[in-house]
A and B are shown apart, each in its own frame.
Chain A
Amino acid sequence: DGGITQSPKYLFRKEGQNVTLSCEQNLNHDAMYWYRQDPGQGLRLIYYSQIVNDFQKGDIAEGYSVSREKKESFPLTVTSAQKNPTAFYLCASSMVANQPQHFGDGTRLSIL
Chain B
Amino acid sequence: QKEVEQNSGPLSVPEGAIASLNCTYSDRVSQSFFWYRQYSGKSPELIMSIYSNGDKEDGRFTAQLNKASQYVSLLIRDSQPSDSATYLCAVSNYGGATNKLIFGTGTLLAVQP
B85-109 Cβ-contact flags toward A at 8 Å (1 or 0): 0001010101100001101111000
A102 to B101, CA, bound (A): 12
Q: Is B32 an interface position by the 8 A CB rule?
A: yes
A41-B105, A42-B104 given; A100·B44 CB < 8 A: no
Q: Say yes or no: A104 contacts B43, CB within 8 Å.
A: yes
Interface size for A (C-beta < 8 A) is: 18
Q: Say yes or no: B100 contacts A102, CB within 8 Å.
A: no
Complex partner residue of A105 from B32, B34, B43, B88, CB under 8 angstroms: B43
Interface residues of A in 49-91 (CB under 8 A from B): 58, 90
| Min distance, Cβ B46 to any Cβ of chain A, angstroms | 5
Complex partner residue of B34 from A41, A48, A100, CB under 8 angstroms: A100
Interface residues of A, Cβ cutoff 8 Å to B: 40-43, 45, 48, 58, 90, 97-106
